[in-house]
Structure 1
Amino acid sequence: MSSNMQTTATPPQNQSAAAIPNLAEQQRLFQCSTCKRSFGRADHLTRHVRAHTRQKPYVCPVCSKGFARIDLLKRHVTNHDSNSAKKRQRREITRDTRVVQACEACSQSHLRCEDDKPCARCRKKNIPCQVPDAPTNDEGELDAVHAAQDLLDLSNGADFSPPLPIPESGSHQPSTPRTRAFETNMSLDHRLPPALTGHIDHSAHQPGTGGGDRSMTTPNSMLPPSPPGDGLLGFFDSALPHFVNTPSIDLFLPDCFRNMPPFESYLSGQATPRGLMDLSFDLDIGLTDLDLGLLDQYNFQAPFAAETPSTDARETLEHLSETDSVPVRTEAFKQSIWRYLPQRNRDHGAAEQPNLAFTDSENDSRRSSMTQRRAIPEKLDRVGRDRLLALVLGTCSPANVKRIASAFPSIELLDGLIQYFLTSPTIDAQSWFHLPTFSPSNTSPELLACIVAAGAASTPDTPLRKLGFALHEASRNEQAKAFEEDNSAIRDLHHVRNLCLQLEVGMWSGISRKMEISESFLQPLITMLRRGSRFRQSTWKEIHPNRDDHGPELEKKWLEWSHQESYLRLVYRAFELDRQSSMALLKPPLISYAEMQLPLPNPNALWHANSAAAWKSAFLNTTPHVGKRPSAIDCFLDLEHLSHHDSACKTYLYMMWGLVWEYRQVSTLTAKSQLKANNSLIVSSRYQELVKQLEDFQVSSPSLSKSHEITMELMLLHLHAPLDDTQLFAGIEGQEEARYAYYGLREWTKTVSARQALWHAGQILRAAESLPKVLLCNFNAVAVYHAGLILWAYGFLNRTSSSDPTSGEAPQSVVVLNGDDSLSARRFITLDRGIPSIRNPGSQNTTRLSDVAGVMENLACLLRGLSNAAESSRPPLVGNLVQLLEGLRSATK
């Protein structure tokens, strides 16, 4: 400070008391416009003005507490760093009034002081009341900079004003309220300390001073003089160390950015991200600044509806004949099982509830039409029917309760549907339901309702089928409630088996909504099994009877074994559903082949034993094998297990599908890669390995059923053909996607892989012809549809070049794709010699693939059956597939 302060450092006490007020009065150059109180420093005036306005612009980055002074904020943040976690959570006491600056005597004694000097304590003790000297370090200068800036902001009535350029000398610009406020703020420089006023360049305001070409901003104009040689950066370098503990404060940012919480608080989840992200939401609510002309075309058509043509509909498919009509093919998919369009304000579950009511005459006629066959001796009792009725009424809307309660199916009809479920070859319930221990009275109502639903949905009777789908909906809703009310149900056999059965019924229902729900909820089922360690080898115990086991001990062991075996077969049933749905819907499988470490199911002779004694006898009579039962992985790695275990062949095929799916994905990416030449060797070697594995399996398996044959041929079809692109070209996603898929398919039809895929498609048809007609549904029907897609795409894209040869060469022979393996078939695959054809169902006549309409008609006849049964008697899935094939036939006539 000045020399006057030094001379008055040691005067007599009576002189200092009178001299200090006069000196302070001379240096108080800054006066408050509200209460006329004056201060000696600009930052003191700023703090005083904030006492009137109650503004606290400095916010703690930890607890968001506001402060009027930056030094209080820094001290507060330091306390956060030093205090314990428990003390950090303590709420600090807020004082509304605080002295501007304490005198030296009060500050040394840590006592409260007063703004009026000399303070009462100094007057009472008759001691000098001296105010500490103004700081001369960089921190004090920085406080003065902020104080000067805050004075300008407070005088303008805002915390922050963006920098405004100074108009050039001689230029005439219109005066705005903000520029007038800026000019008013600049008139305050005569009240600032010399250290600040000397740094302001007044030549920018004065015409003719040579400063007209410079622009000036408010923050930079208030900076103190920099040390010699360092410039402006030297000043900030000396000031930055004071802000190490407050990372949210940036010298170059205004208060609205300095007060933001730190970035770390966003990661902790304790604060909602604000600040910079809020700037993107500062939009014109009236939408006056946006050009909405591009929305005009949407006012006349719905751009995302299935029936809306693309904006590029004017473009046509090059190289395609004029008879090709993609919109016609797309129309066939609109009503198909792959085109589910949810609708608002429509309760599909409530729409099925009226189908739950049956009159007495309908009960009698349906009961008499069903075949009287029993799988278990126990019948459904009245209590079981009442439990089903209570479950159904709990899910029905009030408008349907009275009707359903008065006309619910009879006990005899429900019991007949249960028996139909247990004996139907389509459902194959005996492979994973243990009939000797199955009891309707001991089954949960959710599972019992789903069993009745599955049996009714598989019948050829339309009203019974509707009843089954309605019960399926009620069981699905109640099962969700059971899982929510008791989370332990996700490990219970009855509840998990009910969920698996629900997904199976929905997946093959032929109703797009139910199929999409089943596809979505297959993942929770797999998660329940995976988190329950059901894929692990160690989860399953070896339970077997001893020769000395008799009576209750043997009965207890048999029941324990049947429960574990039921759960084991449930896991394999879920594995089968996952693989079949993946092949049918062209979606990734959910269960990895590498995690199938659980053992194979026990032999069927043990599974079908109807008592504990029969189970013991069958176990002792079986030929023991060395070691324990192999796992699914062991069966996959060693083909010797195929001839020793009943389910080994099916398990091997479904394990192979994971590898085939991976190959298809890699092959698709490699075809689009720029490094195709380098990657083709890897892909081709992988392809040869998969083909070799399937050939070895075909040779090693003792005997394949027709269903397993269809599965194997479908895998080989996927291995050689891009079925996803074929379905796109057929029109499932509209004209735009069909155009993109066309060019790749056109090149594919010229390759050996295409002719190999044709052969496997024909072999699928051959196996389907030999399959019992009752089994030509569900997954087998989808396999026939996929084979038809390949035959249709190849015949459609090559029909112009398949005419009979007119040259001097010998006529080409007809190659029957759904016939026996022959030399002509191998010559066609390898050398493209011969005319590919298929044999018509039930006759020896053939139809060339160039006759696309005839091929599609043969496939539709195969799915409909040779007897041409009524359309209503066909399962909905088969009916939808027939509709798709007929749509493709109509589009290619």
Structure 2
Amino acid sequence: MAAPDSQTGTPPNPKRVKAGKDSDAAEYWCDKCNRSFERSDHYARHTKTYAPIAALFVPKPSIGVKDAKNASQWNQPPEVIPTPNLPLAISNEHDTSFGVSSPPATVEPPQSLESHQQVVILDDATAISAAPLDPALGVDCLASPYVNGFSFTDGFLLPPATGELDSGCFELDIDTLQALMQPVPNDIQPSVQTEGSGPTHASPASSRFEFFKRSPWLWTPVHVDNAYAGQDSLRVNEKAVDSMLRRSQQYSFTGKFTPTVVDSSCRDRILFMIYSTPHSTIPLQAFPSESYLDQRSRLFLSASIEKDNSRVRDLQTIQAYLLWVSVSLWSGFKRNMEVAETFLSAPVTMLRRYGCFSRALYSQSIYPRLEDDVHTTEAKWRAWIKQESLKRTAIFAVLTDLRCSMAYLKPPNCSVTELSCPLPLARDIWLAPSATAWKDTILSYGMTFEESPSWLAIAQNPSVLDNLPIYYDKTLIAMVAMHGFWSQVWAYQESQRFFRASSQLSVQATTILWLSCQHEDLVKRIGVAQQTLSSQGPDPSHIQIVAEFCLMALNVSPRELQQWAGRLGEEEAATTHHLLREWMVGPEFKTAAWHAGQILRIARSVPAAQLREFSAVVVYQASLTLWAYGLFSISMNRLGSPQLFQGTAYQGEGCQVLLDGPSTADTTAFVMFGKGNPGMSVGPDRLFCPLTDIRTIMTAACDVLRDNFNPETETFPPLLESMMNLMTDLGNIDTASF
């Protein structure tokens, strides 16, 4: 029998001893771990296990392809069974060693020592490619154990073929053990593909989910996010703030937030308030100007409420809380939006517990009389201001909550049915600068002391608003009455979701009849309210947008629509696909597309710089409805669905139906029977564009938002910019995958 060391590729053995009685059995001895081997190939493989540790600390030239071939003569690669869920794979035949379940690395020829590229060959099945070291990290490679997708610990995971424990594998220091215990990140784990599987492509829903990750609707918090993370951005462009304030004052309360001018003494007190705020991590680098502090002073609330809980009944604290929530809800910053959505219920609860929604708090009527002197008039004026402020704060809370429900697609916290406070008086009475002016304005109206109608009566019969005296704030009342229909629309959609999965035919038939009657009644009531309430106030566009959005959501739920668009991921998108196909076959989707087009038509008439916040979100929801209708039209047109194409749509003979135009016989035929080719008017020339051209449709929707601002003098709000980016991404998707 030939000696084992005569095999090619066996490293020289410095020490050989006789093993027991058999003099022919030569034993190979390792000086490093005092271990013996009977076969030379086992000994050679054992000596190679020390190479990865040495390569981590001592730069060495690469092992060439020739050396790799020589090494493979005494170590044949084991067959690795792909196991995606396990970190190790068991080799075949009589070799009991463990191999790493990853594809073999390609051994590149050595270029030069300056490249610092190292390839350490364990065997042909496992190769570790060591990346060049960053000088800033020093020589401690254990701090980053992952190199080019492989861990340096792979060399320790190959026990000898004899099945005996190697005592050298236990000679590790604490740092090495800690490095071994680190989990492999998911983003650098090598993927295991079966033979013939080929590259995988992302599904359309998963790609759309990536778009929503960049939108303002999804936020993934990290450990660095906190309440003081934005203190380093305290300095702002005051010219931009002043520009937006000048435009917003045309449609909001005039005058300053505080009754007095912010002077140097007031600024010093605000400075003390800032520095007294606990847990501030960033020092104040630059103090803002006095005009900016006048707007900033509304937001410091948390510390005062925690110190004195009686402030939850303080009117100014509740008002400041609501202002902070309303600003953050439409800020476009993900963290602020999510936190504001969470804390919106707090001021609503404060007002409810305070009794601001009920009529009992306003049982005492406060009106001036002609014979009142100056002191009596002043006292009545201040008492009336507090009473009217509580009333308007409650109204503002209801509007904010309903708008948040429409934009964020969540259940509302309150409803108009809960609102029983008296109606607000006219704006010129509310904005009277002094007690004398307040008294003169009220007396000029000839006010009576009759009890005003309830909010619910106006919502059920909007014509009551026409008979109200002129000393009521009809614009605000009409806005609240129109928003009140959203609670009923949400309840209807909840009933649809609740009874949709019912399998009992008798119960299902009764439920369908009930829901159908409810749907028909809501459509009539919202339509009548839109016509009646739009005549109240100088600008009817905001009331009309809310009405069209309620009618659109009454036919196609925006929550299911965004779910199908990929907001919640691929799996959730698949659960709503069949539902949207049912809406596509019936009149629901066509009706929703019509109202979505009307929203874009009305949005073009909104005054400059006013198509923002809630109104901008409604435009986004409308564009998403048109986008989904276009995609389903492409899909069903490709499949040739006879249920969809009952008319001449998409066959080259149908008439063009402008969804953003006036109501005509063609639009009615499209909504009821699917006749015609629906589309939008786009561009400065208002050319017709079918809904199947989703890229142009989404671009036109972005232009509606963009044209409301002057890009030369104004910057887009962050919320608008984020939504326009999302709309652009959705419009650029590949329609061939549908």
Q: CA deviation at 1:677?
A: 2.1
Which one-letter code corresponds to 1:617 in the other structure? D
Cα–Cα, structure 1 residues 841 and 605, in superposed 2: closer, same or farther, change >3 Å? Answer: farther
Distance 2:552 2:649 in 1: 34
Q: CA deviation at 1:634?
A: 2.9
Cα–Cα, structure 1 residues 338 and 382, in superposed 2: closer, same or farther, change >3 Å? Answer: same
Cα–Cα, structure 1 residues 302 and 520, in superposed 2: closer, same or farther, change >3 Å? Answer: farther
Q: Does 1:349 align with 2:227?
A: yes
Q: Does 1:877 align with 2:706?
A: no
Q: CA deviation at 1:625?
A: 5.9
Map of 2:214 onto structure 1? 335
Asked if the contact 1:720–1:753 (Cα under 8 Å) also holds between the matched residues in 2, the reply is: yes
Cα–Cα, structure 1 residues 369 and 582, in superposed 2: closer, same or farther, change >3 Å? Answer: closer
Asked if the contact 1:533–1:539 (Cα under 8 Å) also holds between the matched residues in 2, the reply is: yes
Map of 2:261 onto structure 1? 379
Which one-letter code corresponds to 2:563 in the other structure? L
Distance 1:380 1:833 in 2: 63
Q: CA deviation at 1:367?
A: 7.6
Map of 1:740 onto structure 2? 575
Asked if the contact 1:507–1:518 (Cα under 8 Å) also holds between the matched residues in 2, the reply is: yes
Query: 2:546 is matched with which residue: 678, 700, 711?
Result: 711
Map of 1:635 onto structure 2? 458
Asked if the contact 2:649–2:677 (Cα under 8 Å) also holds between the matched residues in 1, the reply is: no
Secondary structure of 1:610's counterpart equals: coil
Mean Cα deviation higher: 575-584 or 385-394: 385-394
Q: CA deviation at 1:511?
A: 1.1
Asked if the contact 1:842–1:866 (Cα under 8 Å) also holds between the matched residues in 2, the reply is: no
Q: CA deviation at 1:808?
A: 14
Cα–Cα, structure 1 residues 412 and 499, in superposed 2: closer, same or farther, change >3 Å? Answer: closer
Q: CA deviation at 1:866?
A: 6.5
Map of 1:529 onto structure 2? 351
Gaps of 5+ in 1: 1-297, 316-321, 419-447, 451-474
Distance 1:739 1:614 in 2: 63
Distance 2:483 2:342 in 1: 20
Cα–Cα, structure 1 residues 538 and 860, in superposed 2: closer, same or farther, change >3 Å? Answer: same
Map of 1:590 onto structure 2? 413
Which one-letter code corresponds to 1:494 in the other structure? Q
Which one-letter code corresponds to 1:410 in the other structure? S
Asked if the contact 1:363–1:409 (Cα under 8 Å) also holds between the matched residues in 2, the reply is: no
Secondary structure of 1:590's counterpart equals: coil
Q: CA deviation at 1:400?
A: 3.1
C-alpha distance after superposition, 1:527-584 (max 9, x if no partner): 1111111111111131111111121111111111112111110110000000000000
Cα–Cα, structure 1 residues 504 and 832, in superposed 2: closer, same or farther, change >3 Å? Answer: same
Which one-letter code corresponds to 1:505 in the other structure? V
C-alpha distance after superposition, 1:795-827 (max 9, x if no partner): 001124559999999821111111111111011
Distance 2:608 2:240 in 1: 25
Secondary structure of 1:707's counterpart equals: helix
Distance 2:323 2:431 in 1: 21
Within 5 Å, give how 1:266-665 maps onto structure 2.
325-344=204-223, 346-357=224-235, 375-376=255-256, 378-395=260-277, 400-401=282-283, 403-404=284-285, 407-414=286-293, 418=295, 449-450=297-298, 475=299, 478-540=300-362, 541-622=364-445, 624=447, 627-643=450-466, 644=468, 645=472, 646=474, 647-665=476-494
Distance 2:708 2:558 in 1: 28
Distance 1:655 1:615 in 2: 31
Query: 2:522 is matched with which residue: 690, 701, 704?
Result: 690
More helix by share: 1
Given the two structures, how large is their TM-score scaled by the length of structure 1?
0.54
Distance 1:714 1:414 in 2: 37
Secondary structure of 1:774's counterpart equals: coil
More strand by share: 2
Map of 2:733 onto structure 1? 891
Distance 2:219 2:544 in 1: 31
Which one-letter code corresponds to 2:478 in the other structure? C
Secondary structure of 1:601's counterpart equals: coil
Distance 1:670 1:623 in 2: 53
Asked if the contact 1:301–1:308 (Cα under 8 Å) also holds between the matched residues in 2, the reply is: no
Asked if the contact 1:537–1:631 (Cα under 8 Å) also holds between the matched residues in 2, the reply is: no
Distance 1:781 1:517 in 2: 20
Map of 2:12 onto structure 1? none
Secondary structure of 2:580's counterpart equals: helix
Asked if the contact 1:508–1:779 (Cα under 8 Å) also holds between the matched residues in 2, the reply is: yes
Distance 2:649 2:289 in 1: 73
C-alpha distance after superposition, 1:192-230 (max 9, x if no partner): xxxxxxxxxxxxxxxxxxxxxxxxxxxxxxxxxxxxxxx
Cα–Cα, structure 1 residues 791 and 621, in superposed 2: closer, same or farther, change >3 Å? Answer: same
Asked if the contact 2:609–2:708 (Cα under 8 Å) also holds between the matched residues in 1, the reply is: no
Distance 1:500 1:586 in 2: 20
Distance 2:548 2:242 in 1: 40
Which is higher, the Rg of structure 1 or of structure 2?
1
Asked if the contact 2:611–2:708 (Cα under 8 Å) also holds between the matched residues in 1, the reply is: no
C-alpha distance after superposition, 1:577-596 (max 9, x if no partner): 00000000110000133321
Q: Does 1:666 align with 2:501?
A: no
Cα–Cα, structure 1 residues 605 and 364, in superposed 2: closer, same or farther, change >3 Å? Answer: closer
Cα–Cα, structure 1 residues 564 and 547, in superposed 2: closer, same or farther, change >3 Å? Answer: same
Cα–Cα, structure 1 residues 870 and 607, in superposed 2: closer, same or farther, change >3 Å? Answer: same
Aligned-residue RMSD, C-alpha: 3.4
Cα–Cα, structure 1 residues 685 and 388, in superposed 2: closer, same or farther, change >3 Å? Answer: same
Distance 1:785 1:597 in 2: 33
Within 5 Å, give how 1:793-812 maps onto structure 2.
793-801=628-636, 811-812=653-654
Distance 1:557 1:366 in 2: 36
Q: CA deviation at 1:790?
A: 0.6
Asked if the contact 1:758–1:791 (Cα under 8 Å) also holds between the matched residues in 2, the reply is: yes
Asked if the contact 2:228–2:280 (Cα under 8 Å) also holds between the matched residues in 1, the reply is: no
Q: Does 1:767 align with 2:602?
A: yes
Q: CA deviation at 1:339?
A: 1.1
Q: Does 1:860 align with 2:706?
A: no
Asked if the contact 1:350–1:396 (Cα under 8 Å) also holds between the matched residues in 2, the reply is: no
Distance 1:623 1:640 in 2: 23
Asked if the contact 2:329–2:336 (Cα under 8 Å) also holds between the matched residues in 1, the reply is: yes
Map of 1:255 onto structure 2? none
Distance 2:628 2:649 in 1: 27
Which one-letter code corresponds to 2:297 in the other structure? A
Secondary structure of 2:689's counterpart equals: strand
Secondary structure of 2:319's counterpart equals: helix
Cα–Cα, structure 1 residues 680 and 741, in superposed 2: closer, same or farther, change >3 Å? Answer: same
Cα–Cα, structure 1 residues 400 and 731, in superposed 2: closer, same or farther, change >3 Å? Answer: same
Asked if the contact 2:486–2:550 (Cα under 8 Å) also holds between the matched residues in 1, the reply is: yes
Secondary structure of 2:678's counterpart equals: strand
Cα–Cα, structure 1 residues 771 and 369, in superposed 2: closer, same or farther, change >3 Å? Answer: closer
* Corresponding pairs, count: 520
Distance 2:354 2:649 in 1: 69
Distance 1:866 1:565 in 2: 34
Asked if the contact 1:324–1:891 (Cα under 8 Å) also holds between the matched residues in 2, the reply is: no
Distance 1:650 1:398 in 2: 41
Q: CA deviation at 1:388?
A: 2.2
Map of 2:176 onto structure 1? none
Map of 2:676 onto structure 1? 834
Q: CA deviation at 1:762?
A: 0.6
Distance 2:301 2:610 in 1: 29
Asked if the contact 1:769–1:841 (Cα under 8 Å) also holds between the matched residues in 2, the reply is: no
C-alpha distance after superposition, 1:99-133 (max 9, x if no partner): xxxxxxxxxxxxxxxxxxxxxxxxxxxxxxxxxxx
Which one-letter code corresponds to 1:650 in the other structure? M
Identity of aligned residues (%): 30
